[in-house]
Amino acid sequence: MQAMPETADQSKRPDKDVRPLTGNEAIARGAWEAGVRVAAAYPGTPSTEIMESLAAYPAEDLHAQWSTNEKVALDVAIGASFAGSRALASMKHVGLNVAADAFMSQAYIGVNGGLVLAVCDDPGIHSSQNEQDSRIYGQFATVPVLEPSDAQEALDLTRLAFDLSEQFDTMVIVRGTTRLSHTRSPVAIGPRSEHPSRGFVENPAKNVMIPAHARRRHTAVIEREAKLKQYLETATINRWETGDASFGVITAGTCYPYVREVLPNASVLKLGASWPLPEGLLRRYCESVERVFVVEELEPVIEKELRALGIKVEGKQFFPREGEFSPEILRAGFEKAGVLEPRAKRASWALEPLARPPVLCAGCPHTSSFMAVRASGARVAGDIGCYTLACLDPLRGLDTTVSMGSSIGNAIGMAMAGDTKPVMATIGDSTFLHAGIPSLINAVYNQANITVLLLDNHITAMTGGQEHPGTGKTLRGGDAPKVDYEALVRAIGVTWVRTVDSYDLAQMYQTLREAIAHRGVSVIISNRPCVLDPMKIKGPALAIVNEQCNACQSCMNLGCPALTWGDDTFEGRHKVKIDQSMCIGCTLCAQVCTVDCIKPAAPMTTTTVTQ
């Protein structure tokens, strides 16, 4: 048994209601407590649970929605602010690229009801296409960026963000990272304060961005920045923690706990806002210590600003510009900088870790779509979603992936540039609605010769199963009109459209062949629900008749995780076996078996669907 540590000092949190919350839940709580009335988001790891948590608060308190994409979500929130209500938009870092047009202009307009944008970055690229640093957007648009370091601050700073927004007439960014979003820690919660609507304020000079107005607003924005800096000189969200004066650390957000972990007694200036920066405070702090280190994940935003002020600081020469920080990385940096004694290295057991790349679920309908895509011999422009995993062995079914909705535009370009293979775009249902429709219209308009495979699994799967306009349900589970993809695609001028059952491989192959043979834009909708969301699908499992299996491993081409090598071999190759607990009975493996030896494990019963 391990010796137990001491418990926490309870006197620090007298008679408060303390709950364990993740950073995302705390941001949602903060927004609710601040009296938010309209909230909108498009899902994206690690930000998704902010909106899901907000939807758990009463509908009388706030309207919460999944929007079709991040630009729409931000526009909805901006609209609510115009109308005088407190509003929140949340998204992942790359979502802000999609919303950037509205974001940049809104920065000039400012707010009526408080407007907060929660953006979650993904240092380390746990589940994203890049690791851009959203703080630079704050700098770019001259919008303040608050950075919580744990769930308690996530709540407190989100509440404060609404107040600051109204006080300084600006949208405010609350910036998190994956680590903040998905770490649960104790949070003292409070009641909701109501902020009745201020009503729409008619003021075209502020609200209508024509050049004459925008020029004046730009001046206002620059004045606003000065006022914010002034405020931050003395704001309590910046914390000067004194310690040994031989060196000091300037840090913010989720880097702060790592700094404290490795340097419990050091002098630290913890900034609550990483943009804009209070010059006077920074100068005073830097003069109080002999050496100054800036510890920030990703880009040297604070470091560059300090250098611009002519202050000598150290940072990115010791702490990397890429990847997620950890106590180990900080320790290594401070050792290199000579302020920590190097630890004795202990030789550890050199093990080669098992490669376990992410895979599609057993029975995932994307599996068969990509078996067919692969057999079509096409050049495939891919997109973002669970189906991006089809780029890996054994499916290896897509050639490119850029950003949400890029596939169709990329395919048009490839076709126009004269790729020697037939060109195809594969795009998920949620992604198609998010950013695929304009590019499909473009394909029709410019008469591209491409095939678009719309992978309709009836859900936004990769981010955990969110509703979207094609599912017929809203965020709160209410009924909604459902997009009719065939009708939509025909309405924009596509003449060749077919819907196929993804689990019918022969039909998938045949339809893809015909679609490719068609000159012009052809659209195939592969139609089967995701096996995990919104309902878990588990049919009767299949089994392999071991004596008949000839170990050709044709079924292994699917990459279904329920299929693995058995112990027996044939001609030196392993026969295959099916993990009964994982198999959902989609029958795809039976369809590709060359000797027809994959059969129901037990006599057929009806499919069971469990919640």
> Which token pair is 46?
């690690």
Nearest residue to ligand TPP on Cβ basis: 428
Residue 88, H or E segment: strand 87-92
Q: Which does 308 bind (CB under 5 to 8 A by kind): another protein, ligand TPP, ligand SF4, none?
A: none
User: What minimum distance in Å lies between the beta carbon of 596 and ligand SF4?
Assistant: 13
Interaction between residue 71 and ligand TPP (CB under 6 A): no
Residues in 128-147 that interact with ligand TPP by CB under 6 A: 129
Q: Which does 44 bind (CB under 5 to 8 A by kind): ligand TPP, ligand SF4, another protein, none?
A: ligand TPP
By CB under 6 A, name the one of 106, 430, 522, 587 that touches ligand TPP.
Answer: 430
By CB under 6 A, name the one of 55, 424, 462, 562 that touches ligand TPP.
Answer: 462
Count of beta carbons in the 10 Å neighbourhood of residue 137:
24
Q: What is the rounded CA–CA span in Å between residue 232 and residue 252?
A: 14
Cβ-based nearer residue to another protein, 305 or 456: 456
Interaction between residue 429 and ligand TPP (CB under 6 A): yes
Cβ-based nearer residue to ligand TPP, 35 or 176: 176
> Where along the sequence are the contacts to ligand SF4 (CB under 6 A)?
360-364, 366, 386, 457, 461, 530-532, 542, 558, 560, 562-563, 578, 583-589
Q: Which residues contact 407 (CB under 8 A, 6 or more apart)?
A: 381, 382, 383, 400, 401, 425, 426, 427, 431, 436, 452
Cβ-based nearer residue to ligand TPP, 530 or 597: 530
User: What minimum distance in Å lies between the beta carbon of 587 and ligand SF4?
Assistant: 5
Q: Total number of residues binding ligand TPP (CB under 6 A)?
A: 23
Stretch that binds ligand TPP, among 152-160, 425-433, 564-572, 603-611 (CB under 6 A): 425-433
Q: Which does 585 bind (CB under 5 to 8 A by kind): another protein, ligand TPP, ligand SF4, none?
A: ligand SF4
Q: Which residues contact 561 (CB under 8 A, 6 or more apart)?
A: 359, 360, 361, 362, 579, 582
Interaction between residue 94 and ligand TPP (CB under 6 A): yes
The dihedral sign for the CA sequence 368, 460, 453, 380:
negative
Alpha helices in 446-586 (DSSP H): 485-491, 505-517
Q: Which does 578 bind (CB under 5 to 8 A by kind): ligand TPP, another protein, ligand SF4, none?
A: ligand SF4
Q: Which of 223, 221, 225 is nearest to 209 (CA)?
A: 221
Stretch that binds ligand TPP, among 184-192, 323-331, 380-388, 581-589 (CB under 6 A): 380-388
Q: Is-contact 78 85, C-beta < 8 A?
A: no
**SS3 call for 387:** helix
544, 547, 553, 554: CA torsion to nearest 10: -70
> Which token pair is 30?
């903060």
User: What minimum distance in Å lies between the beta carbon of 363 and ligand SF4?
Assistant: 4
Q: What is the rounded CA–CA span in Å between residue 34 and residue 163?
A: 8
Interaction between residue 95 and ligand TPP (CB under 6 A): yes
Amino acid at 109: I
Q: What is the rounded CA–CA span in Å between residue 515 and residue 453?
A: 10
Cβ-based nearer residue to another protein, 353 or 603: 353
User: What minimum distance in Å lies between the beta carbon of 577 and ligand SF4?
Assistant: 9
User: What minimum distance in Å lies between the beta carbon of 513 and ligand SF4?
Assistant: 23
Q: What is the rounded CA–CA span in Å between residue 595 and residue 508?
A: 21
Q: Which does 152 bind (CB under 5 to 8 A by kind): ligand SF4, another protein, ligand TPP, none?
A: none
DSSP string for residues in 48-79: HHHHHHHTTS-TTT-EEEE-SSHHHHHHHHHH
Q: Which does 384 bind (CB under 5 to 8 A by kind): ligand SF4, ligand TPP, another protein, none?
A: ligand TPP
Question: Could you tell me how far CA 138 lies from the centroid of its own chain?
Answer: 19
Q: Is-contact 217 206, C-beta < 8 A?
A: yes
By CB under 6 A, name the one of 238, 457, 522, 526 that touches ligand TPP.
Answer: 457
Q: Is-contact 342 335, C-beta < 8 A?
A: yes
Q: Interface with ligand TPP by CB under 6 A: which residues?
A: 42-44, 92, 94-95, 98, 129, 384-387, 404, 428-431, 457, 459-463
